[in-house]
Structure 1
Amino acid sequence: MIVRRGRSEDLAWLVDHDDASEDWIGRCIQFDEYFVAAQDGELLGFLRFSRFWGKIPYMDMIRVLSSHQRAGVGTALFRAWEDAMIEEGAQHLMTSSEWAEADPQAWHRRNGFQAAGSIDFRIVQPSPEIFFLKDISGVRGG
């Protein structure tokens, strides 16, 4: 398996597998805000990120095809993103999940994130959103 930045040739696959609009996906590819995992030329999953307040790397979405879940694809995507953000000099990583999503929360904690607060967005989703932070300030890129 290889993990790399998303490229324009990934657009159709990402449109089929991400909930974002095609325009947004294209914008994110243009700004290097996707990582994709591939094996034998087939995409297995992706990680899309942005920057909270224009500064803190924020993992917007990580998704792995159901046939490849629990095989290390998500962890490989996360590690590639984390390494890239360390190289760029980021001090923290940020992500979130809905309050009712126990499995994603456990995954965030296993990967070093700590809960940092929540916001009630029930006007657009059924439960509050929990935000997670990971301090990477002590890690230096090479």
Structure 2
Amino acid sequence: MRIDFANDSDYEYIRERDRHISENLILSKIKGTEIYIIRDKDEHNIGWMRYGYFWDNTPFMNMIWVDEQNRGKGVGKQVILFWEEQMKRSGYKIIMTSTQADEGAQHFYRKLGYKDAGCLILDTQPLEILLTKKI
């Protein structure tokens, strides 16, 4: 497995799977090196991770995707640990993510050392749990 910054050739792969942001924003995130692409040993894309900044100064993992056939093999954990190390090297002391209360991801993040930091209540969505981790 290899983790790289996504490039223009990864756009279609990401666009087909990321239904949470506009196509133009995907391109902007690729150009801003805010999307990591995960490739298998044969150089096939198997997942990606997208981040941004909460309050414009705190790294915030927005989305992680691992193709179905590669889930449960530690791929997600590896890309998150890779991102955490990159953020630490960039001088950040704390990072964030979130997950809906009805999703199992909250347990995954807690196993990686993330702590509950509050929640967000939206009219049409389940409770959104905010999580932070000191790095």
TM-score interval (norm. to shorter): over 0.9
User: How many residues get paired?
Assistant: 133
Structure 2: gaps spanning 5 or more residues? none
Q: 2:97 aligns to what SS in structure 1?
A: strand
1:128 alignment partner AA: L
Match of 2:116 in 1: 115
Residue in structure 2 matched with residue 140 of structure 1 by the alignment: none
Give the letter for the 2:97 counterpart: T
TM-score by length of structure 2 reads 0.95
Match of 1:84 in 2: 86
Q: Which runs of 5+ in 1 are unaligned?
A: 137-142
1:9 & 1:96 partners in 2: Cα distance? 28
Q: Secondary structure at the match of 2:123?
A: coil
Counterpart secondary structure, 2:116? strand
Deviation per CA, 1:29-54, whole angstroms, max 9, x where unpaired? 01110011101121111110000011
Does the 8 Å CA contact 1:122/1:128 hold for their aligned counterparts?
A: no
For normalisation by structure 1, the TM-score amounts to: 0.91
Runs of 4+ in 1 over 3 A off after TM superposition: none
| Deviations, residues 80-113 of structure 1 (Å, cap 9, x unaligned) | 1111101100110100011111x20010001110
Provide the identity percentage.
29
* Secondary structure at 1:74 match in 2: helix
Q: Which residue of structure 1 aligns with residue 71 of structure 2? A: 69
Deviation at 1:119, TM superposition (A): 1.2
